[in-house]
Amino acid sequence: MLPIYTRQRKAAVGGHTLVTVVVDTLRRLARAAADGEGGAARPGGGAAFAEALPARRSLSLRDPIPGLALTPSAPRRRPVQVLCGDLAIRIARDGTWYYQGSPIRRKELVCLFASCLKRDAEGYWLETPAERGRIEVEDVPFLAVELFWSKGPCPACACDSGGQVLTFRTNVDEMVTAGKDHPIRVARDIITCQPTPYLMVRDGLEARIGRAVYYELVALAVPEVVHGERVLGVWSAGEFFPLGSAEE
């Protein structure tokens, strides 16, 4: 049984916030999986749920959709996205997720939330097709915790870069290859004033490259001239990413 991290209810979303919907879904999936453990499923358990679903091969494009008074050819309504406001979720600088001040320790749940994470000019959001709620992020939502080095074609796009390829694993187990669509940038940390590297993961969501991984990057750095300045940086998938001045 998965622990419940949320008991908050809001009438504006029919008594459930985005967080509770996600967690309740996880609980149902866990119960269904548990029903199937140890051989035959218990009556009314996950097997019964599966039997209630129509067999995929028996469906036709002309068949009515079970439970709906519509056919696939009928116009579909676009779901109205409900704004849940500010959720009591915070991503700390060290990558820990908190709900109402308590850490969310189950990694599967954190990874699920991370897959729903979006960013726009107004901040960070947990978003589904039906609901949207804002969360707090202290720095960036992800951490790059491991670096994989390879030589040759890029594993992400199969391009022949003719050089090294740097692939990072994040704290939510996403694999991201640094390149044109996933650049590395270096900024001054507002707390330590030290140069801090970041990796673009997706759609404006970045991962801060951890200190140990950063040292690995520095070991791979080579000098190049960029805009008339001699800098140290790394190559990945045919792109060069400056890490700092070669004179420092």
Domain boundary, last residue among 137, 170, 190 = 137
| Residue 3, in any domain of the structure | no
pLDDT of residue 222: 93
Q: What is Dmax (Cα atoms) for the chain?
A: 73
Model confidence at 154, pLDDT cuts 50, 70, 90, reads low
Q: How many domains does the chain have?
A: 2
| Residue 32, in any domain of the structure | yes
Whether pLDDT at 232 is above 90 = yes
Contacts for 215-221 with beta carbons within 8 Å, 24 or more apart?
216/147, 217/147, 217/166, 217/184, 217/243, 218/243, 220/149, 220/164, 220/166
- Rounded CA gap, 174 and 240, in Å? 22
pLDDT of residue 149: 93
| Residue 4, in any domain of the structure | no
pLDDT of residue 227: 86
19: enclosing H helix or E strand: helix 18-35
Burial status of residue 96 (CB atoms within 10 A of its CB: 0-12, 13-18, 19 or more): middle
- Rounded CA gap, 110 and 10, in Å? 22
Which single residue is written with the structure tokens 């070669």? 246
Are 195 and 231 in the same domain? yes
Pick the closest to residue 182 from 214, 154, 221 (CA basis). Answer: 154
- The residue ranking higher by pLDDT, 112 or 35, is 112
Q: What is the pLDDT of residues 186-222, one digit of tens each?
A: 998 777 778 899 999 999 999 999 999 999 999 999 9
Q: 195 is in which domain, residue-wise? A: 142-245
Are 127 and 57 in the same domain? yes
Are 109 and 147 in the same domain? no
- CATH number of the domain at 186, please: 2.30.270.10
pLDDT of residue 37: 41
Q: Could you tell me whether strands 82-91 and 131-137 are parallel, antiparallel, or unpaired per DSSP bridges?
A: parallel
pLDDT of residue 157: 52
- DSSP letter at 80 equals P
pTM: 0.66
Are 121 and 36 in the same domain? yes
- Rounded CA gap, 184 and 221, in Å? 13
Are 146 and 131 in the same domain? no
Are 28 and 116 in the same domain? yes
Are 226 and 157 in the same domain? yes
Q: What is the pLDDT of residues 7-37, one digit of tens each?
A: 343 333 344 455 555 555 545 544 544 444 4
Whether pLDDT at 111 is above 80 = yes
Q: What is the pLDDT of residues 52-92, one digit of tens each?
A: 333 444 444 444 444 444 445 556 666 667 888 899 999 99
pLDDT of residue 171: 97
Are 125 and 29 in the same domain? yes
Whether pLDDT at 247 is above 90 = no
Q: Quick one: what percent of the chain has pLDDT higher than 90?
A: 51
Mean pLDDT on 175-183: 97
What angle is formed at CA 110 by the lines to CA 109 and CA 116, rounded to 5 degrees?
95
**Does the CA dihedral 143-147-150-155 come out positive or negative?**
negative
Tokens of 67: 């439970």
Half-sphere exposure of 92 (CA within 13 A, CB side): 10
Domain boundary, last residue among 137, 167, 182 = 137
CB distance 202 to 181 below 8 Å: no
Model confidence at 158, pLDDT cuts 50, 70, 90, reads low
Tokens of 204: 């404006």
Model confidence at 166, pLDDT cuts 50, 70, 90, reads very high
